Structure 1
Amino acid sequence: MDSANLTARGVLAVAVTWVDNSGVTRVKAVPVGMLANAVAHGIGVSPTFDRFVFDDSVTGGPIGDLRLKPDVGKLAVLAAQPGWAWAPGVRYDQEGVVHPGDARGLLMRVVNQVAEQDLSARAAFEIEWCVSKGEGDEFVPACSGPAYGMTRLTELSGYLHDVLDALATQGIHVEQIHPEYAAGQYELSIAHQEPVTAADHLVLVRETIRAITLNHGLRATFAPKVVAGGVGNGCHVHLSVWRDSKNLMGGGDGTFGLTADGASFIGGILSRLPALLAIGAPSVGSYLRLVPSSWAGAFQSWGLENREAALRFITAGSPNVEVKCFDGAANPYLALAALLVAGSAGVTEGATLPEPVDVDPATLADSVPLPSHLGAAVEAFEAEPTLLAAFGTELVDAITTVRKSEISILGDLTPEEIVERSRWSY
């Protein structure tokens, strides 16, 4: 969409976003008249943002400059923010090469690498968030009905209507929306797409929900833990792997209809789950959510329609695997890149799957728990050569520095203090 068309639609400026290594969506914006210049030459952005922590503390220096270029092919006029449009961006160096620390650029590269194996993927997210009517930073649930109750939908039906209307106007296909378990919590599922678009849509959906919530005088949070001791916000990933237009997670003669490569793809992810948590459950607060017997997937296991397994296999419709242990603090571009790297490595290795689990893994003596704190996940990530090689030295260093900085900030605090410090960062 060119500047003249945007101006005709009342758009004055375009917000260009990227997601940093702490999972926070950052932005630079340009007036519509400068959009063509931004596409051609980029918007100046400091590489320091690679080392921003959730609380905006900075772990890197101010030297250097990157160029943030909007992907106008994904541009959307924002229904909830009159006069604004949005586009995801990729950061480039001064020579026009994709910055090695750019998460969206990494995902684009990984998708191309997976294609060299004659593989492609489809991905979708389930997005959970909590809505507050409290003053300032206080969290007060904006609805009071029972979990999954129609009462909750009725209480905020106008709000949810506006969320759905805005997303539809922006071209986002919503498959389901409902009240969730935690106080003031809702969940929305969007249709599967190729991986880069799936991550773009997650960013757009979250920022649309945030804007609609503010328009209703409320506040939304996607943080993995909103109330200490309560149920947190997951951000489950649904993923399937394809070859020659055929879904490799169905139509085979393996367990639950898996093909050999489909099983190996899941096996590659399952075997690397401890390391993957440093990307998909990337905050200290993530491990307040990732506890047994809470539908969070706290054990390194898989099973058919098992909501306690970290990997829930689904056969209804288009078969796929749901990664339940990831949450709302994750950078979606990093999360999908890491899953694709792990899964495609599993195909290369001919990885096999253990027996599926059909009970709560917490009831089994031989179940393997996933890391119970961020430090253990970071250690597993630093010891996983496949992920390290794919992400590259610069990005790995930035990610681990940010994780260790968060641990130093929050690691010795009580659950209540951790939640208070991080609730509104996401």
Structure 2
Amino acid sequence: MDTTLEALRNLVQTHPAIDNHAHNILTAANALNYSQYPLELLTTEARGSAIEVARTTLPHYRAVRQLAGFFECEAQWEAVKKARDAWVQRDYVGLVKKCLEGTHQLLLDDLLTEKDVEPILWHDQFTAASSRQIIRIEAIASRILKTLKPETKADLQTRWNQFQRMFTLTIQSSIQSSKIVGFKSVIGYRTGLEVDVDIKQKDPDRCSFAQLMDDIDPERIANKPFNDWLVVHTVELLQGSRKPIQFHTGLGDSDLILTKANPAHLQPLIARYADVDFVLLHASYPHTRDGGYLSCVYPNVYLDLGEVFGMLSRDAEESVIRQSLEVTPMSRLLWSTDGHFHPESFWVANRHFRDALETVLVDYVKRGDYTVLQAMDAAADILFNNSNRLYGLGLPTPTMNKSAASILTMTDTPIKPAVTSARPVLDAMLQSHPDSFIWMQFVDYTATVRVRMFPIREFVKIVQNKRRVGITLAVLSMLQDDYLAPGGSPTGQFYLEPDLSTLCRNAGVASNSATVMTFWRTERGDAMQGCPRTILQDIVTKLKNEFQLTVRFGFEIEVVLLKSSEEDDGSGYHRLTTVHSWSNMTVEIRKALPLLEEIVTTLDSIGLHIEQFHAESSPGQFEFILPHESPLLAVDQLIKARQTINHVVEKHGYRATLYPRPYPKGAGTASHAHFSISPVTNETSFLAGILEHFPAVVAFSLSQEISYSRVAAGIWSGGEWVAWGTQNRETPIRQIAPGHWEMKSLDGLANMYIAMAALMAAGYLGMTSKMPLNMKDCTDDPSTLTPEQRSSLGITTTIPKTLEQSLSALEANDPLQRLLGPEFVRNYCRVKRAERAKFAAMGESERVNFLVDRY
């Protein structure tokens, strides 16, 4: 069995789904009212006598067999209905619960009908997250029209004025509501999708809106100028709101004008209102390719893959997915059932979609078009992540994202779903090395990597939730030598939750083991404030959800290789190479080549692929460059790579140190970070926020007093002034390309999760306030400029020169504190001051040895 494909199949079938377009379910009293709500609607849009014919379609035959298995009855339509009737009468709530399994949240258009259905809140008992509402604008217009009844024709203009005012206020109020996450138009059903984008600029007398008021049927508004006005006016109000509007496109009942349901008709509207997001419902079938094309060329268009699943044959359903993947970016595809009235409509749609998606993704993996991980990401994005981001739902990413569910079957109790690499690694270890060990790791506020080790069978219990790993809260105040900072307490504990996506074999060390990074959880299992990985994850999620911003990091690992010695001025270490210079191949560097190549090949053996490596400027200093990755993964890999480098060099009796300035007269050692955002639309506000809050960010990126030995001019370490410059290595922020920068005021003593979270938080603050970028591109070393020249560039602030200065800047920065967590910031500052006092009391040699031994 191919375990990687099994992991993909399992993810597709089990990953929680956000149903981004659905309708309310019938009350129990109406669930068997088949004359009004035919059960055949599960597989057809036909009505009336056409339903009889629809019972001979492939979708109907397939659904009968599937529902027969669901209800455990004979595979005949009447037998299915009889078994269903019994279940509805016996336990309707239980039936609904069964049908909604796997649905994490519902986004409900509750204006499909005003009777016979349950309210939105009723549905919340079946989903992990509370349902949210989608507002149907034509239904709002209909409700308003019914309240306006003029006595004479002369009142029509007054009525039109009243309608405009009431409709506008209703939409504006809905935009402000946290319960309402989007809007919807069924203009495709009424007068077609060819909306006149200039309708509001036309002469009211020629459009005769006032006169139309007397002729419009409030029950079914089907006047083209009026319908076009509703859409255009709503879209105008939505500008800047970040709430999308859905359009019924393609497939529908006989009330639909099929020739006018092609989403291509919406292109002028989409192009005109580029800052409003449009969702094309129902896969635009049979115009799926047109919908996919619009989603490809317009960044504000999303293609919903709803309703068709259950309504089409198996081949057609798979074809819809293949067509949608032809050109549509994966970030633009959404999932929905269009479930309505009968709960089985949700069950059938979900089953058909997951089966079709599994078939298509597995096929593309086998053909080599996707890797397994890319296919897993695609499934998770379509089912959950894209809707979470588009509608601003703010839901935490499911822990089973990229799941290899039921990772181990070695015991009677199945393990809860976990993430990608876990199954192959754990399975292999259990089969070949059942006596192996797992190191559960976390990084504290001193950037010390703390480790708990478990026999692998005990680790299985942790993953199965059979036991928990409690850690004393004292770690929030603990220094490197385990002493508590003043104010710290040994009372209380938190719990480590393994992030199985990080599970990786230990290499270069004499240990049959693997490491896994962890999240910190409270007693109740909630995310704990102050968990470094959670802080980073949360701010990256906010950037994604609120600004549709994708962030990537890339790190440069600089280390100085040392030989252990009690000589060399009592430092305890001396240089591995002395004949040394930047990007040079000296005689001593050639002697070190076998060691350097062993480092790279060892990293490669565990999936950490170094892009390049070379000699840096300081004696014994080398740099290894990691590829760009998503933020949490990038920092996880940085920690793992550093550990592996040390494992390899320690085998040969050496030490690889991150110490910022081993030799006062030599170049310093940094941990430069590349960071990029996409799209680059708001890059100026993002950069402006980083520069505005930079003195406070430095409290995390230059986290020890020795770190500030690199805040100096002329040594290519970022200089002394808060500034930015294109390819300027004497500014702390070097711009490399639009939306791509390097942070230079950063070293290996920082907790990189927190440092990068603070950097991203500063960018986020700039975007939320739409901060202008008043600082200009600096092409020189700012320290060589006159005060007037710096002022003309907007360079007015120096980088803190001491740890105390940066901590004070952080404590004075309320917006950054609120974003990162005030309690966390207080703990962090307390630890850093205690750490500073400890090192100040040491002699120079003792301090250097202490830090080199640990970093």
> TM-score under structure 2 normalisation?
0.46
Cα distance change on mapping 1:370 and 1:204 into 2, 3 Å = same
1:158 Cα deviation (Å)?
A: 1.1
Task: Specify the alignment match of 1:26 in structure 2.
Answer: 450
Does the 8 A contact of 1:228 with 1:415 survive in 2?
Answer: no
Cα distance change on mapping 1:86 and 1:113 into 2, 3 Å = same
Cα distance change on mapping 1:9 and 1:336 into 2, 3 Å = farther
Cα distance change on mapping 1:418 and 1:231 into 2, 3 Å = farther
The letter of the residue matching 2:716 is: W
- Answer yes or no: is 1:127 the counterpart of 2:557: yes
Task: Specify the alignment match of 2:721 in structure 1.
Answer: 299
Does the 8 A contact of 1:69 with 1:91 survive in 2?
Answer: yes
- Answer yes or no: is 1:264 the counterpart of 2:699: no
Separation in 2 of the partners of 1:97 and 1:277?
29
Task: Specify the alignment match of 1:8 in structure 2.
Answer: 431
Does the 8 A contact of 1:300 with 1:370 survive in 2?
Answer: yes
Task: Specify the alignment match of 1:188 in structure 2.
Answer: 624
Separation in 2 of the partners of 1:370 and 1:414?
27
Tell me which of the two structures has the higher relative contact order, counting C-alpha pairs closer than 8 angstroms and 6 or more residues apart. 1
Separation in 1 of the partners of 2:472 and 2:499?
19
Does the 8 A contact of 1:54 with 1:422 survive in 2?
Answer: no
CA RMSD of aligned residues (A): 1.9
Task: Specify the alignment match of 1:104 in structure 2.
Answer: 533
Separation in 2 of the partners of 1:377 and 1:13?
41
Match of 2:701 among 280, 303, 325: 280
Task: Specify the alignment match of 1:62 in structure 2.
Answer: 490
Match of 1:403 among 832, 845, 848: 832
Task: Specify the alignment match of 1:201 in structure 2.
Answer: 637
1:174 Cα deviation (Å)?
A: 1.4
Of 285-294 and 50-59, deviating more is 50-59
Alignment of 1:294-333 (within 5 A): 294-297=715-718, 298-315=720-737, 320-333=740-753
Does the 8 A contact of 1:269 with 1:346 survive in 2?
Answer: yes
Separation in 1 of the partners of 2:535 and 2:666?
34
1:414 Cα deviation (Å)?
A: 7.2
1:120 Cα deviation (Å)?
A: 2.0
> TM-score under structure 1 normalisation?
0.91
Alignment of 1:20-419 (within 5 A): 20-39=444-463, 40=465, 41-59=467-485, 60-81=488-509, 82-117=511-546, 118-135=548-565, 138-148=572-582, 149-151=584-586, 152-242=588-678, 246=679, 248=680, 259=681, 261-297=682-718, 298-315=720-737, 320-353=740-773, 354-366=775-787, 367=790, 368-411=797-840, 418-419=847-848
The letter of the residue matching 2:722 is: Q
1:88 Cα deviation (Å)?
A: 0.8
Does the 8 A contact of 2:660 with 2:706 survive in 1?
Answer: yes
Separation in 2 of the partners of 1:193 and 1:273?
24
Separation in 2 of the partners of 1:340 and 1:143?
37
Q: Which protein shows a greater Rg?
A: 2
1:238 Cα deviation (Å)?
A: 0.6
The letter of the residue matching 2:816 is: L
Superposed CA offset, 1:238-276 (max 9, x none): 11112xxx4x1xxxxxxxxxx4x1121111111111100
Cα distance change on mapping 1:42 and 1:125 into 2, 3 Å = farther
1:166 Cα deviation (Å)?
A: 1.4
Of 49-58 and 295-304, deviating more is 49-58
Task: Specify the alignment match of 1:256 in structure 2.
Answer: none
Separation in 1 of the partners of 2:771 and 2:429?
49
Task: Specify the alignment match of 2:441 in structure 1.
Answer: 17
Superposed CA offset, 1:98-129 (max 9, x none): 22121011112222212222212011111111
Superposed CA offset, 1:196-251 (max 9, x none): 10110111011011111101111111122223443221011111112xxx4x1xxx
1:299 Cα deviation (Å)?
A: 1.7
Separation in 2 of the partners of 1:9 and 1:291?
53
Bigger fraction of residues in helix: 2
Q: Is the partner of 1:22 in helix, strand or coil?
A: coil
The letter of the residue matching 1:57 is: Y
Separation in 1 of the partners of 2:699 and 2:468?
30
Task: Specify the alignment match of 1:253 in structure 2.
Answer: none
Q: Where does the alignment leave 5 or more consecutive residues of structure 2 unmatched?
A: 1-421, 791-796
- Percent identity, aligned pairs only, is 29
Separation in 2 of the partners of 1:414 and 1:270?
36
1:418 Cα deviation (Å)?
A: 4.4
Q: Where does the alignment leave 5 or more consecutive residues of structure 1 unmatched?
A: 249-258
Separation in 1 of the partners of 2:482 and 2:615?
31
